[in-house]
Amino acid sequence: MKHKSAVLDDWCAQVGRDPAEIQRSTTINRMTGEATDPRAYLELGFTDFVVSIQGPDWDLEPLRRALAWRAGSAVYRPCR
């Protein structure tokens, strides 16, 4: 994601757009159960995080962990 974010920043510079105006989002918990620490994405300017869950069991634990992280994070600043 670091490379993709840098490419986006470069394009913004080429067209004269402030890259901070762009809302960046990514998935932090994939349907495979793979979890990603969102702090690294915050450093890249990402502000919106998607937590994927699927049935039929609908395990909401990944969502609970993400919400707990957000509630306790001193660095998370929602853009809205």
Secondary structure class of 35 (helix, strand, coil): strand
In the predicted structure, residue 26 carries a pLDDT above the cut 70: yes
| Every domain of the chain and the residues it spans | 24-80
Output b/e per residue, 10-43; b: 16+ Cβ within 10 A: eeeeeeeeeeeeeebebebbeeeeeeeebeebbe
Q: Are 9 and 1 in contact (CB under 8 A)?
A: no
Provide the pLDDT confidence category of residue 3 given band limits of 50, 70 and 90: very high
* pLDDT score for 8: 93
> What mean pLDDT is reported for the chain?
83
Provide the pLDDT confidence category of residue 66 given band limits of 50, 70 and 90: confident
What is the mean pLDDT of the segment spanning 57-76? Answer: 80
